[in-house]
Structure 1
Amino acid sequence: MKFAISEINARHGNLRILKTTKLPPSNITKEEMAAIHNLKNNREITILPADKGRTTVIMDTEQYEKQMNEMLQDRNTYEVLKRDPTEAKKRKLKTILKQLQEEKKIDKQTYNHLIPTANIIPRISGTPKIHKPGAPLRPIIDSMGSVTYNLSKFIADILKPLLGNTDYHCENN
């Protein structure tokens, strides 16, 4: 109980510090800030990180969407689904996790951590490979909040020490 009270007091103290701390002055002018705001709101352009080199790329939105659609038309890589499999995948994962818990292969805390709570469909975007001719897009899948997100993180944490520095493993950046 004492620990819980001291944790609440620490959080309250941190919150007070965050509320009273003043932000440092901006290092860009109001005009530059307005220009950035205008660029962000311009629907004719898409602002993306480059695939490599920590560079920002500004693309014509029509060109970006055309390249993304062309990439998704590749039937050797992507498949059109007749219906959204999210609910079925969620039910199946819940069944498997419940069975693992009943067999004492995972504890209640792990079960609660892994059980899917969100139904967000993974989203695809593309980052331009500016080091290649025509700047093709590298597909990036954002699965945060998806049915398998917590399970994927859990398995990645288990595998991380086993992978080490092999020829087949690269750090996520």
Structure 2
Amino acid sequence: MNQTSSSSSSNNNNSNQTLSIALNNNNNINQISSLSSSNNNNMNQTLPTPFGINNYINQTFPAPPTSFYMKPVTNPSNKILSIDEMNALANGLHHVYSSGVFDQTGFICNIEHFYAKLMNVRTDYRHYEQKQTDENVIHKLTPAQLNIACQIRSISNMIKDKAQIELKTLREQHKSSINLLKQLAKDQSIIITKPDKGRGVVLMNLIDHDPTINNENQLTTLLLKLEKEKFITEKEYHVAKPSGSRPARIYGLPKVHKTNYPLRPVMAATKTVASGGPP
């Protein structure tokens, strides 16, 4: 009995010690977790961030400006452009159309250079220089090299035929575009120019920026009305009637009596609307 009671008491003591150790461990874990959380809070509050990164992140920035898209063709004029005309003008004022002719000489030279690089074909340049200019250079090729040369020749002929067909199609397209551009260039009611910044094409009404023709028509109408009402004679009408008017020209005359010869601006009104016709 005494041994049993002593063993049971020892077991109880062991269990109590285990429970106390577990409780202590739990308390330690809670203390460690609370300490770590408090340390994190303290670090977030007290530790300075490098280069003020928090201020940069929390700072509100304005929205970036929307990108400005410049159309290749701007048409504020009264001219209504077709889709083909728009496509022709979209290439720009400095666009040069290709001739549409297959460069056979350059193509053959490139193929021969490619074959020589591929097969490491070399010639005796000293012996080659001693030959006449009209004499053909004969290369001694192996059967394998001849076979590859035949294959390259057949492929080159296929490329040449396809390129000629595509160039013919491009010539037709370029021809129609060039004709459209010529018709637009002959239109006296519009001005085709470029913007002040960037690239592109701008179409503008000629009368909005050069009122010479409009002023000439108004003056002719007024003179005709005065002639019908007998305020002026027919001879005076023909003298004052403008014909083929142009805007006034400005030029400069050097002032030779001053240093650096500055220019004096002069407005030439010859053949303008107000200058009148020939006597």
Q: Shorter-chain-normalised TM-score: which range?
A: 0.3 to 0.5
Q: Which has the higher helix share?
A: 2
Q: What TM-score comes out, normalization by structure 2 length?
A: 0.24
Q: What TM-score comes out, normalization by structure 1 length?
A: 0.37
